[in-house]
Structure formats: structure tokens, C-alpha cells
Amino acid sequence: MFLLDQFPQEWDLADSPEYRRKQVAEWVFAKRVTSFDHMSNLPESLREGLKSRYQLQTLELSQRQGSHDTTQKFLWKLPKGDYVESVLIPANVDLFGDRAARTTLCISTQVGCAYGCKFCASGMDGWKRNLSPAEIVGQIIEAERLASKRIQNLVFMGMGEPLANYENLMRGIEIINSPWGLNIGARHITVSTSGLVPQIRLLAAQPRQIRLAISLHGATDEVRGKIMPVNRKYPLEDLLGACDEYVRVKGKMITFEFILIRGINDSLDQARALAKLARRLHAKVNLIPYNKVEGLEWERPEEEVVADFSKQLKRSDVTSTVRHEKGHDIDAACGQLRLKKIMEQ
């Protein structure tokens, strides 16, 4: 259940006492009603007024895939006919170097992506639009309903570049984090970015203790520039400068995400260069062997190559984790399920 563009904290309650706003928020976010008629402790006149000005609506589940490892992928059909994906990751899975007993939801912030990372399925059909705050929050609410469990950890690294939709992202996080909203702690929310320097600085300046992950995938400008066009606008030294500021202001550790692609960024030279960057920021490294995407040329390295890369980081005193992608049997790489749906139409 979600609201199209406005949340109860912003609604016009027709001069009703302020406590009514708290009641409305409880109905929407705690009790998850889908009709104003169910808000039984509100006066009928207020319910009718809300009904005439606002809408309650559910995300439409288009497809659901379940993996043998209990990962679940949801394909949502949005009111405008677009599709986005969310992935529910079981507890006790290593994420960003932590083995946490929490259920994690990876959610999308855009329909498609404009940043064109060469290895990613999300941008293969181009960028369509930003998701609204309500569409961002709605993924969480509907995933909880379908899975019959509480989401305890959020990762903004689904379809799209979260920081390219900064304003809507932050409005959504306000709802997610607020006691009157979904009440998920900021320390359990991670925003992943391909490296938008100005927005990283904005994120550093805002008060919530949100965690930051950088989709690095190349430890030198030469390698990163081959697979991530964003590096031409924000090369590594600019990106690291923004990360320095984030660490200084927040006092929080950053995670480097590093997808290992055979013959591209899996050499020991890249491991040594990555270790140097990680030591500069005291960052953790999350190594992710590439998850094959149909239609793209890239391949996963051999297991011994991944192991040697990881050992080199550890010899360099860098904290690192190898995270094997979950849900290989359910199109787990971001954007794959959406692309299949589009091609079927």
C-alpha cells in the first residue's frame, strides 16, 4: 500500500487537531489499510474529505520468483505501466562485509538507469523516469506483506542510480526512518552509488546516519573508465575526495563494492590498487563475482582467481568479504527480470 505523491504528514486535514495526523499515519504505515473507510477512529467527515483529495493504492505484483537459497525477487508494475524490481535477501547473508541476522530488501529508485555501466542489465533499456517517494516506500510495504515478515535492513542498490533521484530518495528515507512511518533505523539503511560526487557531499551534510556504499568496480581510472562511463565526469580522485568528506563528517566506514569481471578488473595489480584506495579511507571491500547477464559479454572469474584477489587484499590489511550473488536461478542480477518482461510485450 502506498500513497501516490503525498504522505500523511503533508496532508490537509481540514483544521482537524494535530493528533489526527498521527492517527492517519498509524492507519497507513502500521495497520496498512487500503481504504479510508477503515480508519474507524476518524470522524466520517474527515474520512470523506481525505477520500476526495487523496488516494490509497497498492503496487501491483507482476511476477515473483523464489530461489532455492530462499532469495525472492519481485517485479512490480507501476501505475504508469512501468516495471521495477526488488530483491528480498534472507538473513545471515554477508552484505557489505557484515553477517547480520536481518532480512534485507534491495530496492529500486528509478525505472531503468542513465549511467550505462557496461556490465549491468538495469540500463540496457535506457532510463525512463525517477520513482516517486511513494513508489520507493511502496516496495517495502508490499514486500513485507507478500513475505509475511518484517524488513529489517534496506539497501538502495536495485534498478537505477539512487543519488540521481536524490530529492525523492531522501523524502522516501524520511518516511522509512521516521517513528510515525516504517521506523527502520538509519544505520540499517545503505545507499549505493556509482559515484555522483556532488550528491555524496549532500548526503554527508544531512543528519541521518545512513550508510554509504560505492560501486567502484575499477581501482584505476583506466579500468574503471572502460566499464563505468560516470568515471569520465567524476574520476577517482574526485570521488575519493567526496568520500573523504563523508567519512570525516559522518565518522562512518564506507564500503567499496567491487564486482569481479574476468579479464577486466580481476588482476592482482587491480587488487593492490584497490587496497591502496581502501586503506586511504579505512573502507571495507565487498567482492562480488560477476553474475552473468544475458546479452552481455562479461564473464565470472574462476574461483581461484577470486580467492587470490581476496588474499591479496587481506595481505594488504584490508577488510574484505567475498559475497556470492544470491538467486542465480531467479534472474538475480538487477534488471534482468524487467528486461524479460519488456521483451515479452
Q: Quick one: angle between helices 236-250 and 197-205, nearest 10?
A: 0
φ/ψ of 215, rounded to 5, equals -80, 90
Contact 109, 160 (CB under 8 A): yes
From 85, 135, 142, 257, the catalytic residue: 85
- Residue 8: count other Cβ atoms within 10 Å of its Cβ: 22
Shortest CA distance to 122 belongs to which of 164, 66, 151, 71? 164
120 tagged catalytic:
no
> Which ranges of 80-191 would DSSP assign to H, the alpha helix?
133-147, 166-177
Q: Is the dihedral of CA 44, 45, 50, 51 positive or negative?
A: positive
As a whole number of angstroms, the distance between CA 39 and CA 178 comes to 21
As a whole number of angstroms, the distance between CA 334 and CA 113 comes to 11
222 tagged catalytic:
no
As a whole number of angstroms, the distance between CA 96 and CA 89 comes to 13
Pull the grid cell for residue 75.
Answer: 517485479
Pull the grid cell for residue 339.
Answer: 528486461
| Cα angle 196, 260, 117; round to 5 | 40
As a whole number of angstroms, the distance between CA 161 and CA 195 comes to 9
Q: Which residues contact 106 (CB under 8 A, 6 or more apart)?
A: 86, 87, 88, 89, 155, 156, 157, 158, 334
Contact 182, 140 (CB under 8 A): yes
From 257, 325, 334, 344, the catalytic residue: 334
Q: Which residues contact 96 (CB under 8 A, 6 or more apart)?
A: 190, 211, 213, 255, 257, 284, 286, 321
How far apart are the two ends of the chain, measured CA to CA in Å? 26
Q: Quick one: angle between helices 166-177 and 133-147, nearest 10?
A: 40
- Active-site amino acid positions: 85, 334
